[in-house]
A and B are shown apart, each in its own frame.
Chain A
Amino acid sequence: MCIGISKCSWTKLFAVFTLTFSATAFAEVKIEKAWVQLAPPGAKSYAAYLHLQNPGDVPVIIQSLSADCCQQVMLHRTRVKNNKATMEHLEELAIPAQGKVVMKPGGLHIMLMKAAMPLKVDDNVELNLHLASGEQQTISVPVIGYDE
């Protein structure tokens, strides 16, 4: 730990500066919780769940998603109507200013489809959020099993 600039190497200080800068420049959305649910063997699709928070004063719109593990990534919402579950495809997802969007099993989720290789517990999926502002936010999402 370096206390005072004199004791710090300039490289360290630069690293801290870069980290802080990049965090403010790109973190349009705060990810409070994120996981990819481990799927049974043979599965080609996985569900990912995020808790997204927008600290900004303007809505953030996620227009599309991509991931390193899977050819296709979609935003879906499971809807239950008359005791029947249907999957609804969402074109985009808006996180309201100062607002929050919570994804959870049985509701809003990200579908990771056509996985090149089966995902295992402790793998990390690089998930890219393509925002309407033209920016891209990349997050690393761990694959988790069912806790016993």
Chain B
Amino acid sequence: MTNKLLTPLFVSRFLLVIIAVVFMLIGAVSAKKLYAAFAEKPLSLNSLQLFPTPKALPPVMLRTADGEAFVREKFLGHWSLVFFGFTSCPDFCPMELHKLGQLIKLAQAQGIHPQVIFVSVDPERDVPTQLARYVEFFHPQIIGLRGDNPAIANFARFFGAAYERTAIIDNKVMNFPAGVAMPDVAGNQYQVNHSTRIFLVDPQGRYVGSAATPESAEVLWDDLQKLL
């Protein structure tokens, strides 16, 4: 009696099954590797740049336009976007605040409530009423902050947000660095040079990154959604 198991036909079929199983295993392993590679793919952001390690916020000594103290704890529990400017700025600040106002709308449409903060670096001219109506124009939920010159300068320095003011006094161009008060003789036509970036603070109150003049609110919102 010949052994049925050793007929050439059976052996070749058996080999085919073995080969198929091996290929399936290889397929499964490579698919798993491919998936892992996708999962580890670095976050691709268009407008935001993140730090390798976030920086915890220092104590904040600023006030809202309503006079309420705005302390560090106000940053907890939601993402915040911080922009430094001044309300007599007719070109750059309105452009960015308009984007940030739109970003609030885009986020709220999806049930997310980021905090947008506009810090005035020009407290002499940006009195509380002026600051309040300025930010409200772009979105009623934008928070306008102001404070003493040294407090503003400290907060700005933490983010690396540079600014200074220049005035022409007695036909001389005078420079007033961050933290220095503007004297009355400077009048109210002086110039403010200010940082252009939008700074991002996470819900743990840590400065995590920033965006330089995003192309649109949509571009910034796309990036922000990847971090939420």
Contacts and interface: CB of A to CB of B under 8 A. Distances in A.
B206 interface: no
A39 B94 contact: yes
11 contacts: A40-B138, A42-B87, A42-B133, A45-B88, A84-B163, A85-B195, A86-B193, A105-B91, A106-B91, A106-B95, A146-B98
A85 B196 contact: yes
B88 A84 contact: no
A44 B86 CA distance: 13
Interface string B70-112: 0000000000000000011011101100100000000000000
Contacts of A80: 196, 213
A42 B92 contact: no
B44 to A, nearest CB: 22
Contacts of B136: 40
Interface centre among B92, B133, B194 (most CB of A within 10 A): B92
B134 interface: yes
B191 A87 contact: yes
A76 B87 contact: no
Interface residues of B, number: 25
Closest 4 CB pairs of A and B: A40-B137, A105-B95, A45-B90, A86-B193
Given A37-B94, A76-B91, A105-B94, A84 B213 contact: no
B212 interface: yes
B162 interface: yes
Contacts of A44: 88
Interface in A63-87: 76, 78, 80, 82-87
Given A82-B162, A83-B195, A40 B213 contact: no
B197 interface: yes
Contacts of A106: 91-92, 95, 213
Contacts of A45: 88, 90
B91 to A, nearest CB: 5
A46 B194 CA distance: 19
Contacts, number: 70
Given A40-B87, A47-B94, A84-B196, 16 more contacts: A39-B94, A40-B134, A40-B136, A40-B138, A41-B133, A78-B92, A80-B196, A84-B163, A84-B194, A85-B194, A85-B195, A85-B196, A87-B91, A87-B193, A105-B95, A106-B92
A50 interface: no
B130 interface: yes
Interface in B117-133: 129-130, 133
Contacts of B195: 83-85
Nearest to A39: B90
B92 A85 contact: yes
B91 A47 contact: yes
Interface in A1-46: 37, 39-46
Given A40-B137, A42-B133, A83 B90 contact: no
Nearest to B162: A84
A75 B163 CA distance: 22
B196 A83 contact: yes
B96 to A, nearest CB: 8
Interface string B52-76: 0000000000000000000000000
Given A42-B134, A83-B212, A84-B195, A78 B91 contact: yes
